[in-house]
Amino acid sequence: MNARQAAKAAAKRIEELERIVALNKADIVDYNRCIMDMIAGESPCLYCEDWEECNRDTKAGKGCNLWLLRWQKAGDLNGGKEGNAEEADGTDDPLLHLEQPE
């Protein structure tokens, strides 16, 4: 493998890692929003993967032991809440700044 091939492979790997980091960041934001909603007395069910198919008695209540964070869909970084495009990219999300030192 020459330097050019190595650089190409490295660039491809960096793209993969950036995508993985973006998905992980979206999951963390969703978990934090879910926790904040639960603290506020709302249901975790809105963030569940099985929300549409669920017919359990606990739906929209306290949730159940089968709860699973929903998978991110293409372009969906809004954590289960409807909002504008500025919120969707996560740059103005207060949850991202919870543990930043002052």
Q: How confident is the model at residue 52 (pLDDT cuts 50, 70, 90)?
A: confident
Q: pLDDT tens, 55-86?
A: 888 888 888 888 889 887 655 554 444 433 33
CB of 31 closer than 8 Å to CB of 48:
no
CB of 74 closer than 8 Å to CB of 26:
no
Domain ranges (residues) in the chain: 3-92
Backbone angles phi and psi of 91, in degrees to 5: -75, -30
Q: Report pTM.
A: 0.61
Backbone angles phi and psi of 48, in degrees to 5: -85, 145
